């Protein structure tokens, strides 16, 4: 009996220690991954600052002003039109997510929530915080809970990443040699990467088509969109990115020599590095990448195009988003005041 009790006593701590040790290892791995990610972001940021500072210090400001003045009104109008198409496609991100969540929200509310959240998060950065906050402000009045808004934000983000993967994968398969001028890799390497990305996309489509797929992300449990909605996500992501890239492409200086397909690959690569740097709007990393990836008659001419793109695609929508949020809040408060004033007084 004594031996039996001693065996039970000796075995209990070992059994309890195993899950505790596994949990400790998991926590240590997460800490190291966070540190590695932070180091990677700092490295990209530091390299971008060095490249961009050297480029700016070498600019001739008179030539930069001349390059800005040389941009035609037609180019600006075309960039604004493509920017509008890009943000229109972005409203589809939220519409698809709401359909997946089986929540009906009027399109005007969806458009307001999507446009303002993307325009503000693109400019301020930290989309998981800024975009989710703006969306909750808008959608909570339509009856959505904080969990639904978090799920909506995640699914909308998936649409963006699916579109990026498809665009860069197609570019590498269609024009691998021209993309080599952008990323400095061999043509066959680009072709291989593109095929792997497209194969991964086909695998994902086959996986979601087999039935409802539930995943858990940072404690958030949600159901991924099925095949039909995933195809809609891909279409919206491609339209958004191609229009956004087109908004910069049309104001590039003449003589750059890049086809639109190759330029889309450069644009997506610059966006990825901008996101990895964790800077608001990818500022610095995006410009440094484009300055090194896109051939141009002069650095001043290309830098002028990048400045104009910042104004058209980021600053303009950001100001409009703030104005729309202010107007929406004013209208809601005015309607509440009118309702309170018109309510019958109690005796």
User: Does the pLDDT at position 123 exceed 60?
Assistant: yes
| pLDDT value, residue 11 | 47
Nearest to 76 by CA among 317, 318, 309, 316: 309
- Per-residue pLDDT tens over the stretch 167-185: 999 999 998 888 887 777 8
- Per-residue pLDDT tens over the stretch 226-254: 889 999 999 999 999 999 999 999 999 88
User: Does the pLDDT at position 295 exceed 90?
Assistant: no
| CA 304/CA 96 separation, integer angstroms | 36
User: Does the pLDDT at position 103 exceed 50?
Assistant: yes
| CA 303/CA 286 separation, integer angstroms | 12
* Environment class of 144 (CB within 10 Å of its CB; exposed 0-12, middle 13-18, buried 19+): buried
| pLDDT value, residue 274 | 80
* pLDDT band at residue 299 under the 50/70/90 scheme: confident
- Per-residue pLDDT tens over the stretch 41-69: 555 555 545 555 555 555 566 777 887 88
| pLDDT value, residue 234 | 93
8 Å CB contact between 236 and 92: yes
User: Does the pLDDT at position 337 exceed 90?
Assistant: no
- Per-residue pLDDT tens over the stretch 181-232: 777 788 899 999 999 999 999 999 998 888 767 777 766 778 888 889 999 9
| CA 64/CA 59 separation, integer angstroms | 7
| pLDDT value, residue 162 | 92
User: Does the pLDDT at position 297 exceed 50?
Assistant: yes
* pLDDT band at residue 40 under the 50/70/90 scheme: very low
Q: How much of the chain exceeds pLDDT 90, in percent?
A: 34
Q: How many CA atoms lie within 13 A of 243 on its CB side?
A: 19
């Amino acid at each position: 009996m004594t031996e039996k009790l001693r065996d039970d006593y000796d075995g209990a701590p070992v059994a309890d220690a195993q899950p505790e040790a596994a949990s400790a290892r998991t926590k240590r791995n997460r800490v190291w991954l966070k540190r590695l990610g932070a180091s990677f972001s700092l490295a990209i940021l530091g390299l971008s600052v060095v490249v961009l500072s050297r480029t700016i210090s070498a600019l001739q400001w008179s030539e930069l002003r001349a390059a800005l003045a040389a941009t035609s009104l037609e180019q600006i109008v075309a960039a604004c039109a493509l920017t509008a198409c890009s943000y229109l496609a972005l409203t589809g991100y939220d519409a698809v997510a709401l359909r997946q969540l089986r929540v009906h929200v009027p399109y005007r509310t969806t458009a307001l929530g999507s446009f303002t959240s993307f325009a503000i998060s693109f400019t301020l950065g930290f989309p998981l915080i800024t975009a989710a906050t703006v969306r909750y402000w808008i959608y909570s009045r339509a009856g959505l809970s904080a969990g639904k808004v978090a799920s909506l934000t995640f699914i909308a983000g998936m649409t963006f990443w699916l579109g990026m993967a498809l665009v860069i994968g197609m570019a590498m398969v269609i024009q691998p040699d021209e993309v080599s001028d952008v990323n400095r890799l061999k043509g066959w390497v680009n072709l291989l990467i593109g095929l792997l990305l497209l194969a991964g996309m086909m695998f994902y489509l086959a996986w979601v088509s087999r039935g409802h797929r539930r995943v858990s992300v940072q404690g958030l449990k949600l159901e991924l969109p099925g095949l039909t909605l995933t195809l809609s996500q891909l279409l919206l992501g491609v339209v958004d990115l191609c229009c956004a890239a087109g908004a910069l492409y049309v104001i590039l200086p003449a003589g750059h020599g890049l086809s639109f397909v190759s330029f889309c690959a450069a644009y997506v690569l610059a966006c990825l590095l901008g996101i990895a740097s964790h800077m608001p709007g990818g500022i610095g990393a995006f410009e440094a990448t484009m300055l090194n990836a896109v051939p141009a008659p002069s650095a001043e001419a290309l830098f002028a195009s990048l400045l104009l793109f910042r104004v058209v695609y980021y600053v303009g929508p950001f100001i409009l988003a703030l104005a729309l949020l202010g107007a929406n809040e004013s209208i809601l408060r005015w309607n509440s005041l009118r309702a309170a004033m018109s309510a019958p007084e109690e005796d």
